[in-house]
Amino acid sequence: MSVAFAGNSTTSPSRDAGPLRVMIVDDSVVIRGLISRWVGAEHDMEVAASLRTGLEAVNQIERINPDVAVLDIEMPELDGISALPQLLAKKRDLVIIMASTLTRRNAEISFKALSLGAADYIPKPESTREASAADIFHHDLIQKIRHLGARLRRKHAVASPPLAPPSPAPAARGPVARPAAPAPAPAVHPASSAPLVTRPFSTQAPKVLLIGSSTGGPQALMALVTELGPVIDRFPVLITQHMPPTFTTILAEHLARSSRKPAAEAVDGEPVKPGRIYLAPGGKHMRVVRSGADAAIALDDGPAVNFCKPAVDPLFASAIDIWHGNILSVILTGMGSDGMRGGKDIVAAGGSVIAQDEASSVVWGMPGAAANAGICAAILPLNQIGAKVNRLFAGDRS
């Protein structure tokens, strides 16, 4: 497969047409070969370069001019976390997806990378000989490249409207004619900008807060929980974030620090009580079941739902048997449509759904699916969701 290089391009913006240009940076020749084949097989992307070290990537970024970089963490000469800020300094709009094996150290580094400007992360399988692990890695990586790259190009399209044609030169004799006012340019609308219909909030007081998220979710969750102290103190909060094992352990620790409330991966059979955050552990679906007069956590090792494990829909659907219509659910940034079907069930039972808006989402897949399904009572920027949730649990019904 050919590897395409740009000419002597410096920091010019990525093209808004043609395939997404992907730079693969990994010291493993096997991983580079796999990703190169996968990317090369897609009609809307191409391999811009396949490099062995972070130093090569930093030295060649201006010549290669990629849209997306898949960046390994552990490499010789210059590792991924050290290369990351240098790459963004040379190409600030570069979409960087960190890739690492599932160790606690790499999970912690991946979280640090998100704070330094990486768009997302992806766990690499321990062995590419395990077919199911390789298939999941393949599917998730291609989807992340496609959705994050598409978001970058939409931003460029909004930021760079077409130039107006030059005005005609005035006539040589006679009065100078005033050029006709140009027709207003049509507004640029994303594909998802059809009028969205919202419904009234439930008249039933919420007794539990359920949150679902995926791509971009860790940053969104950590921002949101800082505002939810009054809710967490009085009501249980259950979160499903699409994330593998080990990563959810680290995320729970970050959520505890951000919220200053107890937060941990949920344990099968533990009671669901106010005052703490329950996070679905990576590799397990989290549901709630009745345990006497109370609710309890039930972890499920069944097949993936919506290509995800944990998935949001099982949590949302199971909560109806416990809290009926007294549910407030929030769907944050993420790829796919997970949470939409469960959200429909919650609304049908008398509960409410809030979706994060497109502008503040890293990927408007999950919240967009809910919004376009007409099940949301509000579609809000991330920085307004916390205040709204607090008001609803305090008695506001509008």
Choose, from 36, 79, 120, 242, the residue flagged as catalytic: 242
Cβ within 8 Å of residue 114, ≥6 positions away: 120, 121, 218, 219
C-beta separation of 215 from 223 below 8 A: no
DSSP letter at 275? T
Cβ within 8 Å of residue 391, ≥6 positions away: none
Tell me which amino acid residue 338 is.
D
C-beta separation of 118 from 144 below 8 A: no
Q: Which two tokens stand for residue 342?
A: 């469960």
DSSP letter at 220? H
Helix axis angle for 104-116 and 217-225, nearest 10°, is 80
Q: Which two tokens stand for residue 155?
A: 């931003």
Catalytic status, residue 242: yes
DSSP letter at 123? E
Give CA–CA dist 83/77, Å, rounded. Answer: 10
Q: Assign residue 264 a region: left if phi > 0, alpha if psi is -120 to 50, beta otherwise?
A: beta
Catalytic status, residue 214: yes
Choose, from 36, 100, 213, 214, the residue flagged as catalytic: 214
Choose, from 26, 338, 345, 357, the residue flagged as catalytic: 338
Q: Which residues are catalytic?
A: 214, 242, 338
